Amino acid sequence: MAVKNNEVLSIRAPQDAVNAGHTCLKGRYAFKFYNHEDRLTSPLIRKNGELVPCSWEEAFGYIKDKFESIKAEHGPDAIAGISSARCTNEENFLFQKMIRQVIGTNNVDCCARVCHSPTAWGMQQAFGTGAGTNSTADIPLADLMIVIGANPLAAHPVTGAKIKQQAMSGATLIVIDPVRTELARMADHHLQLKPGTNVALLNMIQYYIVEADLLDKTFIEERCEGGAEFMEQIKELDVDAMSAICGVSTEDVKAVAIAYASANNAMEFHGLGVTEHSQGSQTVMLIANLAMMTGNLGRPGVGVNPLRGQNNVQGAADMGCQPHHGPGYLWMNQKEVQEYYKEKFGVPSPTTDGKKIPEMFDGAIDGSVKALWIFAEDVVQTDPNTHHVKKSMEALDLLVVQEIFMTETSKMADVVLPGTTFLEKSGTFTNTERRIQQVNAAVKPLKGCKTDGQIICEMMRTLGFDQPDYDAAEVLKEVADVVSFFEGVTWEGLGASPMGLQWPVNKKGEDTQILHIGEFKIGKGKFHYYDWRESEELIQHKDKYPFILTTSRELQHYNCATMTRRTSNVELLTKDVIMLNPKDAKAKDLITGDRATLKSDRGEVTLDVQVTDRVKKGVVRTTFHFPEVLINEVTSAVTDEETQCPEYKIVAVDVLKAS
């Protein structure tokens, strides 16, 4: 990174095994948001209906008085916090510590809930650990790569480039996706399934592996349990019926099954197209089945490798920003865990069950949640069913938003606290391959702002907890003391290891590139069988709303584009559009450039049309980068059954020509 006179001039990736000199379009060019004129540079407090500047002391004092009043009348469980997968491990650790140990509630969650909570849950049930099994450094060792519900060239470009390079070098590439992405166009096999039918398709693949007797019997017998029962269930599958449901031929699915099971090293990658479904957790467990059936675990060039939605989704979950798990994935409802955290933090841990994000919103409406602190998340733009989210925000007695810009959520806040970008702070991030990497502040915070860790520390002190000022190295030391798989992680050790360390890291500072060598964390891997079930969204609404809307991202922007829209990237992609199949466009009398309205049972939005065969007949696709549209006006409240991850990928809509 080139910095002069406290200004970032350029960013380049190091020539190491992680990036190999590459960074994505966003990382290399879209960094000018850090000193954009729109940056928040003073705390704001709502007076007479308007947000007006105030001092930090007034802001902290106001929050303290409101928290104490709410706790006195309703108890600590009337307060909740949403943490940030865009911020450092240390900041997330401190945030959950403030919510749990200072305020006294397990009501803390993060955006992993709205992207990869089914990955964590599903892989924990199958393997005992909800994290990626291998490293991107293994990609050149893979004979076959299967990408399910992900578009890594757009959403994960560095990893996507490695996958593309390996495919161009001769490795077999399988893509399972409702959209014909760039990676799908170059794949040896593209299974363009109907959205919402992942379970049906994966069951077909498992059926054909069993039918062809391409099982790794030794791996199954020695390292897994439940295999015999699973095989008997899968043999009963009606593959013709599943083929009709998926919209993919049995011949194509059989070819994929045989290719995957026949490869020496088969490496799997999946994304939000797997997790953001009502059967998301179950789909992840079926992906785990595929790896166990074929012995593609516990060695280089194989594994189950989730592609995380934001830069620190893995880390935020590791740090305990979930209502049911404290730091290190210990269950908060267990007495011995509560005693463990009491010993580590010096104060009692909360004992009542915490609320997940959707439950926080429902609680705001029913009155059980009175105050919510949102740390660097724009839930009004990014969470499903915008009307419901706005209603929740309006119902609160206190909404605190910690942000760098005036987002759609910030506009509704009672108190806004100006934080800092990644360029202005130090700490660590944990990427999708469990790699803990150190970041150091490149420039000083803008005048009037505080680093997010410092904001949390000062608030903790205001609430009466003896928390020192923010020092990333010291907080990391506390993390290593509390989280077992961070045991050997030190600030100095990370500084001496530019590529970072992959957890678990032992006392000697030795890390782990590959999980599940020899045995699983839970002893033996567990097989699971699930039947496909249609989403309640389609059961209830498909007759009135005949199209299926699915959402995804584009290369140029990051999530809700709070940052990238304030850089030159906005000149490369200026708006969200509706992708519509030519047959559907003809039936609706639409051409590229027309305006069309997407209408669902919750609301409607109007966008420009792009006619393309990248989507199948009956499917429409759009992004959610621009607040002018607020695509979540139409998305539903259906969630994954196990984790309450929203079902963004299945929305029943109609497409109407805008007048």
DSSP assignment letter at 579: E
What is the reported pLDDT for 79? 98
Torsional class of 520: left (φ above 0), alpha (ψ -120 to 50), beta (otherwise): beta
What is the reported pLDDT for 143? 97
1-5 own/partner pairs: CB under 8 Å, 24+ apart: 1/442, 3/442, 3/443
List the chain residues with pLDDT less than 50. Answer: 555
CA atoms within 13 A on the CB side of 523: 2
Under 8 Å between Cβ of 601 and 652: yes
What is the reported pLDDT for 16? 61
Dmax over CA atoms of the chain, in Å, equals 72
Q: Which domains does the chain have, with CATH numbers?
A: 1-30 (no CATH), 42-114+311-423+449-467 (3.40.50.740), 118-307 (3.40.228.10), 536-657 (2.40.40.20)
Instruction: Kindly list the distances between the CA atom of residue 295 and the CA atoms of 128, 129, 510, 516, in Å, as whole numbers in the listed order.
Output: 17, 17, 26, 11
What is the reported pLDDT for 569? 59
Element (H, E) at 549: strand 547-551
pLDDT in tens, 70-126: 999 999 999 999 999 889 999 999 999 999 999 999 999 998 767 788 999 999 999
pLDDT in tens, 482-540: 999 999 999 999 988 888 999 999 999 999 999 999 999 999 999 999 999 999 999 99
**Residues in contact with 614: Cβ distance below 8 Å, sequence separation at least 6, in sequence order:** 179, 180, 181, 579, 621
- Residue for token pair 């390079």: 165
- Residue for token pair 């069988």: 529
Element (H, E) at 432: none
Instruction: Kindly list the distances between the CA atom of residue 199 and the CA atoms of 137, 194, 291, in Å, as whole numbers in the listed order.
Output: 29, 11, 15
What is the reported pLDDT for 433? 93
Rounded CA gap, 126 and 119, in Å? 11
Radius of gyration of the chain (CA): 24
What is the reported pLDDT for 554? 60
Residue 83: both structure tokens together: 């943490």
The whole model's pTM is what? Answer: 0.91
